[in-house]
Structure 1
Amino acid sequence: DQHMYKGATATPEFDAATGFLYTLSTDGHLNCWNTRQAGKKVWGLNLYDQFKIPRRPQVTKKRGTRRDYGYTTAPLVFRDWVLGEAGSTKHGNVIAFDKRTGRTVWASQNKDPAGHAGGLAPMTVEGVPCVTVLTALNLVVTRLDGAKAGKEVARHPWVTDFINNIATPAVAGNRVIVTSRYNVQSAALLEISLRKGAREVWRIREASGVCSPVIFENHFYWANKGLYCFDLASGKRRWMGGRYSDAGSCLVTADGRLLIWANSGDLSLAETAKRSPGKATILQEKRGVFHGMAWP
């Protein structure tokens, strides 16, 4: 919540081609550091200052739900650009910068205020490279190809109290899973096409508040008030188990298992549906690795 925590919330992005590391602070400082020269600063800018970003607006009718947690969405390197969700209602929601100089290259057609998601999700739609972002108002898919870079491919309304569009969309081919809690309290699978935009395939009354869904072999998972497994095609829940609070995140390991970071710094290893199709199987747990809420 506002004023309760300190430090950056956006994950750094590393570019192996240049050795550059990109960081984005809560207060809008986008910096580029050269890891091959002892972390020497290459360039930097401030999104708030450069694009005159105001405080995030009230997005629902519920009173007392206006929030602004600062910048949370991790930058993303794509080819010669580093992309950032600036959330400029004048210039564009997503801004592409030259990854070597910080020069603005293009801005997205969509001009929504920024959401509070963890990251931009790259995807390919009918052979065209795109990027997906959960803004304050919509799930938006934007093209990344040549002269059409920045053009909006799809938009699907997704508005959550407090702008708590937090979980990063999960991508599988031309399909995207989006979820949030509060007034929405649901998850949906969207199919994206260049001509028709976004089509909702299914929607379920299950939701993750902060943990981004992860997709693995026709199932998807999240760790939010338990570890959940769902069928990707139908959205039907396969199983739920474990003891996890609101704070949690998970990822799939190289050998097809789930690594869960949750509660007050608890680390767990669990099976996916590949080895445990009928129930949640927690293989190992280590409690209190860190002492503090394990927000993703």
Structure 2
Amino acid sequence: MAEGSLVAADLQPGRQALDGGTAPVSVIEAPRTGGYWPGWLGPKRDGWVSGFRPPKRWPATLTKSWQVKVGSGYGSPLVADNRVYQHARQGADEVLWCFDLATGKTRWRQSYPAPFKIGGGGEYHGKGPKSSPVMADGRIFTMGITGKLIAWDAASGKRLWSRDYDARFKKSHPYWGASTSPIVDDKRVIVHFGTDEQGTLVALDVATGKEIWSQGKDGPSYSSPLLVEIQGVRQVVEWNHRALTGVESRSGKFLWEYPFPHVGSDQNMPTPVFHQGRVLLGGENRGILGLEPRRQDGAWSVKVLWHQKKVALDMSSAVVNGELLYGFSHYNKGQLFCLDIKTGQVLWQGPGRTGRNVMFLSIPGHVVALIDNGQLQIVSANRKSFQPKATYRVAAGGTWAPPVLLDDGVLVKDKDTLTLWSLASLTSGAR
């Protein structure tokens, strides 16, 4: 294929299997409380569940509403217009599923070949996909383990176009496979292609897949980009293989960077956190930094506000609740922690040996923590101490994908299945 190769849908059609149901006129509607989750860590990529009202007392148990076998992978479920979408792997194929949210019934299924040999040391995590899809304006964009970006029609499952940069970089993914989750801004889908050694951040036209701009020569990391506004400039903040960077979203113009490269086997994996003009960045065995990008007299710079090394982030991305950062440090074989955003002071840590990874969501007064051992914990958001309010067993293990919290349920993707656990009691007066 030519550099930045683009494949139209009619050249490489997916294998489609419709299973009942009538597609609505428009899959995407205005976000509503608890019913819209368009990608990695939600609408603003910060894990905040807008409109969710926690109960005064959490139920003792959860009830399983439905469960479907979807295949392996760590991608987040997407939710819109009473449908659930899941990207996964079955055998040598990557699969995109669409289910009815209420029943778990299959609306459509698409698959395509995605052969992949996992790099040494990553066998435990399998062959992906590890990226989470993103949804916008009736389209779903999936980033496969091999670094192929595909656009799909969300209503029908029709494959619209695909793109990779194999010809330019020999392959479009780092050593353990593509993990970065694409993000959409206006008519641009933005993602990083390339290998550990070289790559580029790219904006593609959502309708055609044609390149709008590309920026930089650094390879991608396993982290995912954010869309933020700093001093009136809308920009993509991304942690690549070498540095944290800020790039103007519309034009692709380079704005600023803070070098924070991977060191040996310590990779760049968590998604940065943005809060009130600050970027919080944590790296494996490298602590957590508080950074402030700023523009003065037309020139951008980055101020280091603090750098604490008591806790660090390995694969787990942290979330904000109030003025506090909640995360999971890989030290002591895994500990939840709470950190003051203004000072970088660690306020408390949970017990050690919790697990290998935790996926977080943030709701009023609480943090939702899905541990990789299949436990879902509801933890009080407070400065004083680790205070779990409820713990549920939602899977036997293998829960590395982010959960999705709805008004009346929680979606959990484990090693092979997707399950909807009911929180119906919360909508029947329990609040």
TM-score, length-scaled by structure 2: 0.59
Show the counterpart of 1:59.
none
Q: Is the 8 A contact 2:142 2:149 kept in 1?
A: yes
Show the counterpart of 1:208.
313
Q: Is the 8 A contact 2:292 2:305 kept in 1?
A: yes
Deviations 1:244-290 (A, max 9, x none): 2221121202x3411101132211111112xxx31111011113524
Helix, strand or coil for the counterpart of 2:190? strand
1:250 aligns with 2:355: no
Q: Is the 8 A contact 2:147 2:171 kept in 1?
A: no
- Paired AA for residue 11 in structure 1: S
Pairs within 5 Å for 1:94-113 = 94-108=201-215, 110-113=216-219
Select which of 293, 302, 324 maps to 1:219. Answer: 324
Deviations 1:36-93 (A, max 9, x none): 2x211111122334x334588xxxxxxxxxx711211000000010001114799962
Q: Is the 8 A contact 2:146 2:171 kept in 1?
A: no
Show the counterpart of 2:370.
261
Deviation at 1:144, TM superposition (A): 1.4
Pairs within 5 Å for 1:155-174 = 155-160=257-262, 161-162=264-265, 164-174=267-277
Q: Which runs of 4+ in 1 moved over 3 A?
A: 53-56, 87-92
Show the counterpart of 1:44.
162
Deviation at 1:218, TM superposition (A): 1.1
Q: Is the 8 A contact 2:347 2:385 kept in 1?
A: yes
Deviations 1:89-129 (A, max 9, x none): 99962100001110111011x22111111x21111111110
1:289 aligns with 2:407: no
Select which of 128, 142, 150 maps to 1:31. Answer: 150
Q: Is the 8 A contact 1:136 1:163 kept in 2?
A: no
Pairs within 5 Å for 1:85-96 = 85-87=192-194, 93-96=200-203
- Paired AA for residue 9 in structure 1: K
Q: Is the 8 A contact 2:196 2:241 kept in 1?
A: no
Distance 1:90 1:150, change over 3 A: farther
Q: Name structure 1 gaps, 5 residues minimum.
A: 57-66
Show the counterpart of 1:64.
none
**More displaced stretch, 190-199 vs 168-177:** 190-199
Show the counterpart of 1:191.
292
Helix, strand or coil for the counterpart of 2:166? helix
Distance 1:278 1:91, change over 3 A: closer
Distance 1:295 1:19, change over 3 A: closer
Q: Is the 8 A contact 2:326 2:339 kept in 1?
A: yes
Structure-2 separation of matches of 1:169 and 1:88: 21
Cα RMSD (Å):
2.2
Show the counterpart of 1:228.
337
Structure-2 separation of matches of 1:201 and 1:34: 44
Equivalent pairs, count: 271
Q: With CA pairs under 8 Å and 6+ residues apart, which has the higher RCO, 1 or 2?
A: 2
